[in-house]
Protein backbone atom coordinates (compact mmCIF):
# COMPACT_ATOMS: atom_id res chain seq x y z
CA UNK A 1 0.00 0.00 0.00
CA UNK A 2 1.27 3.46 -0.81
CA UNK A 3 1.73 6.02 1.95
CA UNK A 4 -1.55 7.46 3.21
CA UNK A 5 -2.29 11.12 3.58
CA UNK A 6 -5.46 12.53 5.10
CA UNK A 7 -7.99 13.34 2.39
CA UNK A 8 -8.22 17.17 2.31
CA UNK A 9 -11.42 19.10 2.79
CA UNK A 10 -10.54 20.64 -0.55
CA UNK A 11 -12.51 17.78 -2.13
CA UNK A 12 -15.68 19.22 -0.62
CA UNK A 13 -14.67 22.71 -1.73
CA UNK A 14 -13.92 21.50 -5.25
CA UNK A 15 -17.25 19.71 -5.53
CA UNK A 16 -19.09 22.81 -4.42
CA UNK A 17 -20.80 21.32 -1.35
CA UNK A 18 -18.88 23.59 0.99
CA UNK A 19 -17.59 27.16 0.65
CA UNK A 20 -14.40 28.55 2.16
CA UNK A 21 -16.40 30.98 4.29
CA UNK A 22 -18.49 28.11 5.66
CA UNK A 23 -15.35 26.12 6.43
CA UNK A 24 -13.83 29.11 8.19
CA UNK A 25 -16.96 29.48 10.33
CA UNK A 26 -16.98 25.76 11.15
CA UNK A 27 -13.34 25.93 12.27
CA UNK A 28 -13.88 28.89 14.62
CA UNK A 29 -12.94 27.96 18.19
CA UNK A 30 -14.75 29.10 21.29
CA UNK A 31 -14.60 28.24 24.99
CA UNK A 32 -18.34 28.69 25.51
CA UNK A 33 -19.73 25.45 23.95
CA UNK A 34 -17.23 23.32 25.87
CA UNK A 35 -17.82 25.17 29.14
CA UNK A 36 -21.58 24.65 28.81
CA UNK A 37 -21.13 20.97 28.06
CA UNK A 38 -18.63 20.51 30.90
CA UNK A 39 -21.12 21.93 33.42
CA UNK A 40 -23.72 19.39 32.25
CA UNK A 41 -21.03 16.68 32.14
CA UNK A 42 -20.08 17.28 35.78
CA UNK A 43 -23.74 17.29 36.83
CA UNK A 44 -24.30 13.95 35.07
CA UNK A 45 -21.10 12.59 36.64
CA UNK A 46 -22.39 13.64 40.06
CA UNK A 47 -25.75 11.99 39.29
CA UNK A 48 -24.21 8.67 38.26
CA UNK A 49 -21.85 8.81 41.25
CA UNK A 50 -24.85 9.42 43.51
CA UNK A 51 -26.49 6.39 41.92
CA UNK A 52 -23.50 4.29 42.99
CA UNK A 53 -23.68 5.75 46.51
CA UNK A 54 -27.39 4.96 46.81
CA UNK A 55 -26.81 1.41 45.55
CA UNK A 56 -24.05 0.36 47.96
CA UNK A 57 -25.18 -2.68 49.89
CA UNK A 58 -27.88 -3.58 47.35
CA UNK A 59 -28.11 -5.79 44.27
CA UNK A 60 -28.12 -2.63 42.15
CA UNK A 61 -24.50 -1.74 42.88
CA UNK A 62 -23.02 -3.45 39.80
CA UNK A 63 -25.59 -1.92 37.39
CA UNK A 64 -25.02 1.49 39.00
CA UNK A 65 -21.24 1.19 38.64
CA UNK A 66 -21.71 0.12 35.04
CA UNK A 67 -23.77 3.23 34.25
CA UNK A 68 -21.22 5.40 36.07
CA UNK A 69 -18.43 3.62 34.19
CA UNK A 70 -19.96 4.42 30.80
CA UNK A 71 -19.60 8.11 31.62
CA UNK A 72 -16.09 7.65 33.00
CA UNK A 73 -14.73 5.89 29.90
CA UNK A 74 -16.21 8.59 27.69
CA UNK A 75 -13.64 10.98 29.14
CA UNK A 76 -11.73 9.49 26.24
CA UNK A 77 -13.95 11.46 23.86
CA UNK A 78 -13.16 14.72 25.61
CA UNK A 79 -9.46 13.87 25.75
CA UNK A 80 -9.54 13.05 22.05
CA UNK A 81 -10.92 16.50 21.28
CA UNK A 82 -8.32 18.10 23.53
CA UNK A 83 -5.40 16.45 21.69
CA UNK A 84 -6.76 18.13 18.55
CA UNK A 85 -6.74 21.45 20.45
CA UNK A 86 -10.31 22.17 19.36
CA UNK A 87 -12.24 22.06 22.66
CA UNK A 88 -10.93 25.39 23.97
CA UNK A 89 -9.28 28.37 22.33
CA UNK A 90 -6.27 28.18 24.64
CA UNK A 91 -3.66 25.49 24.02
CA UNK A 92 -2.81 25.20 27.72
CA UNK A 93 -6.44 24.61 28.65
CA UNK A 94 -6.74 21.79 26.11
CA UNK A 95 -3.56 20.26 27.56
CA UNK A 96 -4.80 20.63 31.15
CA UNK A 97 -8.19 19.02 30.51
CA UNK A 98 -6.64 16.37 28.26
CA UNK A 99 -4.21 15.35 31.00
CA UNK A 100 -6.97 15.21 33.61
CA UNK A 101 -9.04 12.97 31.33
CA UNK A 102 -5.99 10.82 30.65
CA UNK A 103 -5.39 10.41 34.36
CA UNK A 104 -8.99 9.28 34.86
CA UNK A 105 -8.92 6.66 32.10
CA UNK A 106 -5.21 5.74 32.36
CA UNK A 107 -4.26 7.08 28.93
CA UNK A 108 -1.13 9.25 28.80
CA UNK A 109 -2.03 12.44 26.96
CA UNK A 110 1.21 13.27 25.13
CA UNK A 111 1.68 9.72 23.87
CA UNK A 112 -1.93 9.63 22.69
CA UNK A 113 -1.56 12.94 20.87
CA UNK A 114 1.41 11.75 18.81
CA UNK A 115 -0.15 8.33 18.19
CA UNK A 116 -3.41 9.91 17.11
CA UNK A 117 -1.64 12.24 14.70
CA UNK A 118 -0.32 9.22 12.79
CA UNK A 119 -3.79 7.67 12.87
CA UNK A 120 -5.09 10.67 10.96
CA UNK A 121 -2.14 10.65 8.58
CA UNK A 122 -2.31 6.92 7.81
CA UNK A 123 -5.97 6.07 8.42
CA UNK A 124 -6.66 2.36 7.82
CA UNK A 125 -3.12 1.72 6.54
CA UNK A 126 -2.49 -1.75 7.96
CA UNK A 127 1.26 -1.06 8.16
CA UNK A 128 1.32 2.50 9.47
CA UNK A 129 -1.90 3.35 11.33
CA UNK A 130 -0.95 2.86 15.03
CA UNK A 131 -4.62 2.87 16.11
CA UNK A 132 -5.89 0.48 13.47
CA UNK A 133 -8.25 -2.19 14.83
CA UNK A 134 -8.19 -5.15 12.44
CA UNK A 135 -11.42 -6.88 11.51
CA UNK A 136 -11.66 -9.81 13.97
CA UNK A 137 -11.12 -13.20 12.36
CA UNK A 138 -13.90 -14.88 14.36
CA UNK A 139 -16.82 -14.13 16.64
CA UNK A 140 -14.62 -15.22 19.54
CA UNK A 141 -11.97 -12.63 18.59
CA UNK A 142 -14.75 -10.03 18.24
CA UNK A 143 -16.03 -10.79 21.75
CA UNK A 144 -12.50 -10.83 23.15
CA UNK A 145 -11.88 -7.35 21.80
CA UNK A 146 -15.17 -6.12 23.25
CA UNK A 147 -14.19 -7.51 26.66
CA UNK A 148 -11.42 -4.85 26.73
CA UNK A 149 -8.93 -7.44 28.00
CA UNK A 150 -6.54 -6.89 25.03
CA UNK A 151 -6.94 -3.13 25.45
CA UNK A 152 -5.94 -3.16 29.13
CA UNK A 153 -3.07 -5.53 28.43
CA UNK A 154 -1.72 -3.13 25.82
CA UNK A 155 -2.17 -0.05 28.00
CA UNK A 156 -0.52 -1.64 31.04
CA UNK A 157 2.42 -2.82 28.92
CA UNK A 158 2.69 0.62 27.34
CA UNK A 159 2.74 2.61 30.56
CA UNK A 160 5.10 0.08 32.20
CA UNK A 161 7.53 0.38 29.28
CA UNK A 162 7.54 4.16 29.53
CA UNK A 163 7.86 4.07 33.31
CA UNK A 164 11.03 2.00 32.86
CA UNK A 165 12.42 4.71 30.59
CA UNK A 166 11.98 3.01 27.22
CA UNK A 167 10.16 3.76 23.97
CA UNK A 168 9.26 0.86 21.67
CA UNK A 169 10.52 0.68 18.08
CA UNK A 170 6.94 1.02 16.82
CA UNK A 171 6.40 4.15 18.94
CA UNK A 172 9.59 5.70 17.56
CA UNK A 173 7.79 5.89 14.21
CA UNK A 174 5.34 8.49 15.55
CA UNK A 175 6.94 10.00 18.66
CA UNK A 176 9.66 12.54 17.79
CA UNK A 177 12.97 11.96 19.56
CA UNK A 178 12.75 15.26 21.43
CA UNK A 179 9.48 14.08 23.02
CA UNK A 180 10.77 10.75 24.35
CA UNK A 181 11.56 12.12 27.80
CA UNK A 182 8.23 13.93 28.00
CA UNK A 183 6.37 10.67 27.30
CA UNK A 184 8.51 8.85 29.88
CA UNK A 185 8.04 11.55 32.53
CA UNK A 186 4.30 11.64 31.88
CA UNK A 187 3.95 7.91 32.55
CA UNK A 188 6.12 8.12 35.65
CA UNK A 189 3.98 10.97 36.97
CA UNK A 190 0.77 9.02 36.34
CA UNK A 191 2.08 5.85 38.00
CA UNK A 192 3.31 7.88 40.99
CA UNK A 193 -0.13 9.44 41.41
CA UNK A 194 -1.82 6.03 41.23
CA UNK A 195 0.61 4.56 43.79
CA UNK A 196 0.08 7.49 46.13
CA UNK A 197 -3.67 7.02 45.79
CA UNK A 198 -3.45 3.33 46.67
CA UNK A 199 -1.16 4.13 49.61
CA UNK A 200 -3.67 6.68 50.91
CA UNK A 201 -6.51 4.17 50.51
CA UNK A 202 -4.63 1.58 52.57
CA UNK A 203 -3.45 3.96 55.29
CA UNK A 204 -6.78 5.73 55.66
CA UNK A 205 -8.96 2.66 55.12
CA UNK A 206 -10.58 4.72 52.36
CA UNK A 207 -11.97 2.53 49.59
CA UNK A 208 -14.32 4.87 47.75
CA UNK A 209 -12.02 5.09 44.66
CA UNK A 210 -12.64 1.37 44.08
CA UNK A 211 -16.42 1.86 43.90
CA UNK A 212 -16.47 5.22 42.15
CA UNK A 213 -13.51 4.86 39.79
CA UNK A 214 -11.64 1.57 39.43
CA UNK A 215 -14.45 -0.98 39.10
CA UNK A 216 -16.70 1.37 37.06
CA UNK A 217 -13.77 1.99 34.69
CA UNK A 218 -13.36 -1.75 34.13
CA UNK A 219 -17.10 -2.25 33.68
CA UNK A 220 -17.47 0.67 31.27
CA UNK A 221 -14.48 0.06 29.00
CA UNK A 222 -16.24 -2.63 26.90
CA UNK A 223 -18.77 0.06 25.94
CA UNK A 224 -15.94 2.25 24.70
CA UNK A 225 -14.53 -0.71 22.74
CA UNK A 226 -18.02 -1.18 21.24
CA UNK A 227 -18.09 2.47 20.16
CA UNK A 228 -14.49 2.60 18.88
CA UNK A 229 -15.07 -0.40 16.61
CA UNK A 230 -17.75 1.49 14.70
CA UNK A 231 -15.35 4.16 13.46
CA UNK A 232 -13.19 2.13 11.05
CA UNK A 233 -13.38 -1.62 11.70
CA UNK A 234 -14.52 -3.47 8.61
CA UNK A 235 -14.06 -0.47 6.35
CA UNK A 236 -11.69 -0.83 3.37
CA UNK A 237 -7.94 -0.31 3.81
CA UNK A 238 -7.86 2.46 1.23
CA UNK A 239 -6.89 6.11 1.21
CA UNK A 240 -10.32 7.38 0.15
CA UNK A 241 -12.02 8.82 3.19
CA UNK A 242 -15.50 8.29 1.83
CA UNK A 243 -14.64 4.57 2.11
CA UNK A 244 -12.33 4.05 5.10
CA UNK A 245 -14.32 5.81 7.84
CA UNK A 246 -17.90 5.56 9.13
CA UNK A 247 -20.22 8.22 10.40
CA UNK A 248 -22.86 6.80 12.74
CA UNK A 249 -26.12 8.67 13.27
CA UNK A 250 -27.02 8.05 16.91
CA UNK A 251 -29.41 9.47 19.51
CA UNK A 252 -28.66 12.54 21.63
CA UNK A 253 -27.36 10.71 24.74
CA UNK A 254 -24.67 8.98 22.66
CA UNK A 255 -23.79 12.21 20.84
CA UNK A 256 -23.42 13.89 24.24
CA UNK A 257 -21.21 11.13 25.60
CA UNK A 258 -18.92 10.95 22.56
CA UNK A 259 -18.67 14.73 22.07
CA UNK A 260 -20.13 14.33 18.56
CA UNK A 261 -17.41 11.90 17.49
CA UNK A 262 -20.14 9.75 15.95
CA UNK A 263 -19.60 12.23 13.09
CA UNK A 264 -16.29 10.52 12.57
CA UNK A 265 -15.89 10.83 8.82
CA UNK A 266 -16.52 14.57 9.10
CA UNK A 267 -13.87 14.74 11.82
CA UNK A 268 -11.36 13.00 9.55
CA UNK A 269 -12.23 15.28 6.65
CA UNK A 270 -11.52 18.38 8.76
CA UNK A 271 -9.96 17.53 12.12
CA UNK A 272 -9.63 21.22 13.02
CA UNK A 273 -13.41 21.60 13.22
CA UNK A 274 -14.51 21.66 16.90
CA UNK A 275 -16.94 19.05 18.22
CA UNK A 276 -19.87 21.49 18.39
CA UNK A 277 -19.60 22.32 14.66
CA UNK A 278 -19.50 18.71 13.40
CA UNK A 279 -23.30 18.32 13.03
CA UNK A 280 -23.35 21.37 10.76
CA UNK A 281 -20.40 20.07 8.76
CA UNK A 282 -22.21 16.75 8.41
CA UNK A 283 -25.14 18.45 6.72
CA UNK A 284 -22.79 20.01 4.19
CA UNK A 285 -20.63 17.00 3.24
CA UNK A 286 -22.85 13.98 3.95
CA UNK A 287 -22.94 13.19 0.24
CA UNK A 288 -19.15 12.64 0.32
CA UNK A 289 -18.96 10.21 3.23
CA UNK A 290 -20.12 6.78 4.34
CA UNK A 291 -23.06 7.11 6.73
CA UNK A 292 -23.76 3.77 8.38
CA UNK A 293 -27.45 2.76 8.40
CA UNK A 294 -28.55 1.96 11.93
CA UNK A 295 -25.84 3.84 13.83
CA UNK A 296 -23.62 1.85 16.21
CA UNK A 297 -25.77 -1.27 15.95
CA UNK A 298 -25.76 -1.03 12.18
CA UNK A 299 -21.97 -0.82 12.18
CA UNK A 300 -21.73 -3.95 14.34
CA UNK A 301 -24.17 -5.79 12.13
CA UNK A 302 -21.89 -4.97 9.21
CA UNK A 303 -18.80 -6.13 11.13
CA UNK A 304 -20.44 -9.40 12.19
CA UNK A 305 -21.68 -10.03 8.65
CA UNK A 306 -18.10 -9.75 7.40
CA UNK A 307 -16.80 -12.01 10.18
CA UNK A 308 -19.45 -14.65 9.47
CA UNK A 309 -18.80 -14.50 5.74
CA UNK A 310 -22.36 -13.51 4.85
CA UNK A 311 -20.92 -10.27 3.45
CA UNK A 312 -17.62 -9.95 1.57
CA UNK A 313 -14.89 -8.46 3.74
CA UNK A 314 -13.63 -4.94 3.07
CA UNK A 315 -10.42 -4.65 1.07
DSSP lists the bridge partners of residue 290 as 246
Residue in 86, 90, 41 with CA at minimum distance from that of residue 256:
41
pLDDT: which is higher, 301 or 4 = 301
Has this prediction a pTM greater than 0.85? yes
- Residue 104 pLDDT greater than 80, yes or no: yes
The answer to whether 27 and 272 are in contact (CB under 8 A) is yes
Q: Give the three-state DSSP class for 54.
A: helix
Neighbouring C-beta atoms of residue 295, cutoff 10 Å: 18
- Residue 268 pLDDT greater than 80, yes or no: yes
The answer to whether 261 and 254 are in contact (CB under 8 A) is no
- Residue 208 pLDDT greater than 50, yes or no: yes
Confidence of residue 288 (pLDDT cuts 50, 70, 90): confident
Average pLDDT of span 140-150: 98
* Nearest-angstrom CA–CA distance, 158 and 36: 34
For the chain, give the number of residues: 315
The answer to whether 200 and 56 are in contact (CB under 8 A) is no
Cα–Cα separations (whole angstroms), residue 311 to 65, 292, 303 = 37, 15, 9
**Which has the minimum average pLDDT: 8-17, 18-27, 115-124, 256-265?**
8-17
Neighbouring C-beta atoms of residue 173, cutoff 10 Å: 13
The answer to whether 61 and 52 are in contact (CB under 8 A) is yes
Share of the chain above pLDDT 90, in %: 86
Amino acid sequence: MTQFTTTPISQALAEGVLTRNELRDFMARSNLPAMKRLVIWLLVLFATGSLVYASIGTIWLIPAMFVHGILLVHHFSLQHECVHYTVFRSRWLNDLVGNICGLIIILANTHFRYEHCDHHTFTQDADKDPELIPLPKSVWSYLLYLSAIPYWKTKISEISLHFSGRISDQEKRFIPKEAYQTVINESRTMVTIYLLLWAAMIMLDWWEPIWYWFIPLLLGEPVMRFVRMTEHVGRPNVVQMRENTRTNLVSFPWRFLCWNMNYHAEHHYASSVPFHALPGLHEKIKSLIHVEPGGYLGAHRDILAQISGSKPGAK
